[in-house]
Structure 1
Amino acid sequence: MEIWNKYTSRIRQNILVSSEENKDLKYWRDDMFSNTIIYIIPLSIIALIPSLFWAFESKLPIMIWIDLLSVIAALFIGLKKGIKIKQRKLLFIGTVYFLSFSLIYFVGLNSTLYLLAACFLSTFIYTFKNQYTPALINFYISVFYISAYYLNLTPTQRIDFKSSELFAVFANLIFLSFLICSLVPKLFNGLDESFKNNIRHTKKIEKQNEVLKEITWIQSHVVRTPLSRIMAICNLLKENDNTEEEKTFLMENIIISSNELDDIIKEIVAKSENIHSVKK
């Protein structure tokens, strides 16, 4: 468990650059990417052993190198320090697409699921200028593969499917890819608006708390000064040995303190109105 905690901590420190205090959409997408890398590395290492055996038995040494390079790339993306997160994401997307294309080319149509997964992951972790970029990549790969198939440039001895199956599989792949690229950005736009509203609401609450703290301080300190002065003067006025001059002086101070207290109350009322305006 300690090793796992150190491992996850290392990857999160390398990847996450958004402040956790401001958990906006960018932070959550980066966090999603870091979690993807955290689990992909051990899973890819586990899957590497049977993949190497399969490639060796199938006499496909190139797949051995492709699998090894993919695992090395995953380790590099997660554990290498000093790389910007944008570069990590692009390297990850490139690795996933390279592996997916290699599997389709050498294994067959059963591996088209990897292209769909690549499209899904790419759309989730990275914001493309053209939201349909992952779908277009799948489209170009499909066109390339179909062309290579009809030009006899694919290892056909490993493929047992009809032409109709070929078009059906890639047509569905392209359809689902464009569907993902259409829906996922809408989901993120909704989440982004929700995050922004949440941040705005949090800032309003923080501002209200600041005003309430100011009001509390005024009530406990500023109000107390003129009020204590008035109470003290009233006690002095209760005494019967005050001269007329002293009474006049004390009354003038009561008026001064009352005006001061009135100004303070007006300030409190104004700040209270600010709280109501912040709520709107």
Structure 2
Amino acid sequence: MRGFLLKYQSIIRANVSASLDSDERGLRYWQDQLFYTFLVYCFPVSLIALLPGVFMALKDGFPVIAVVDLVSFGLVVLVTFSTNISLRNRKIFIVTIFYILAIFLINSLGYLGPGVFYLFFITVLAALIFPIRFAYLSVLINAALLLGFALIIGFKLFHCALITEYSAGKWIAFSANPVFASIVIVVLINKIFEGLQLTITKKRI
């Protein structure tokens, strides 16, 4: 089992080795290492969410949700194992996939589905693998998306699971919580990385 895991890690590392093998051990290097670790574990661990999610979607008569889950998983696998995608573009593709999945799940399942969780997850991931300004941009995008759902609820623009559960005001009150949590976690991660960068700089002197 250990041999299989090492071979699996080496395959992924070979795809992103140009950035990971850099002699420049600055903050960007460590962010790339974190993303590499994410790629290693995302594929197998995501099965924990995928399999019961697809099973329940089919059981409860929501085949579209099952299809979207499977397509999203397939795209993550494709991005993980592709040999001709730069590390930066892999990061962008992964975040984009999760955004599309989050929007679809919020619209289909409402607040209690995993969609809002994925929005929060995207912000945390962005804070770990991108320069911090992209994490704050993610918070703004999330706030805009959640506000957009408030408009959909208020004006009943099209079918959305949230319309039967929330008024526009109640949705804004609920969705303010993940935005607040996102800002706090981004600030904390930024402080950690600032400390790491300071340590790296001191070691170079």
TM range (shorter): 0.7 to 0.9
User: What's the RMSD between the two structures over aligned residues?
Assistant: 2.3
Distance 1:187 1:137, change over 3 A: same
- Which of 83, 86, 89 matches 1:84? 86
The CA distance in 1 between the partners of 2:168 and 2:139, in whole Å, is 22
Partner of 1:198: 203
- Which of 119, 123, 128 matches 2:123? 119
Matches within 5 A, 1:1-280: 1=1, 2-16=3-17, 17-19=19-21, 21-110=23-112, 111=114, 112-127=116-131, 129=133, 131-152=135-156, 153-156=158-161, 160-161=165-166, 165-200=170-205
Q: Which amino acid aligns with 1:27?
A: Y
Distance 1:14 1:165, change over 3 A: same
After superposition, the C-alpha distances for 1:141-164 in whole angstroms (9 at most, x for unaligned) are 101111112222243389545655
Q: Mind listing any 5+ residue stretches in structure 2 that lack a counterpart?
A: none
The CA distance in 1 between the partners of 2:163 and 2:55, in whole Å, is 17
Distance 1:154 1:65, change over 3 A: same
Q: Which amino acid aligns with 2:191?
A: K
1:23, distance to aligned residue in structure 2 (A): 2.9
Q: Which amino acid aligns with 2:90?
A: R
Q: Mind listing any 5+ residue stretches in structure 1 that lack a counterpart?
A: 201-280
The CA distance in 1 between the partners of 2:195 and 2:177, in whole Å, is 27
Could you list the runs of 4 or more consecutive aligned residues of structure 1 that deviate by over 4 angstroms after TM superposition?
Answer: 128-131, 161-165
Structure of greater relative contact order (alpha carbons < 8 Å, 6+ residues apart) = 2
The CA distance in 1 between the partners of 2:40 and 2:163, in whole Å, is 34
The CA distance in 2 between the partners of 1:179 and 1:158, in whole Å, is 29
The CA distance in 2 between the partners of 1:19 and 1:126, in whole Å, is 18
The TM-score with structure 2 as length reference comes to 0.86
Residues 100 and 118 in structure 1, CA contact (< 8 A), matched pair in contact too: no
> Alignment length, in residue pairs?
200
Q: Which amino acid aligns with 1:190?
A: G
Q: Which amino acid aligns with 1:126?
A: F
The CA distance in 1 between the partners of 2:204 and 2:77, in whole Å, is 35
After superposition, the C-alpha distances for 1:210-241 in whole angstroms (9 at most, x for unaligned) are xxxxxxxxxxxxxxxxxxxxxxxxxxxxxxxx
SS in 2 for 1:170: helix
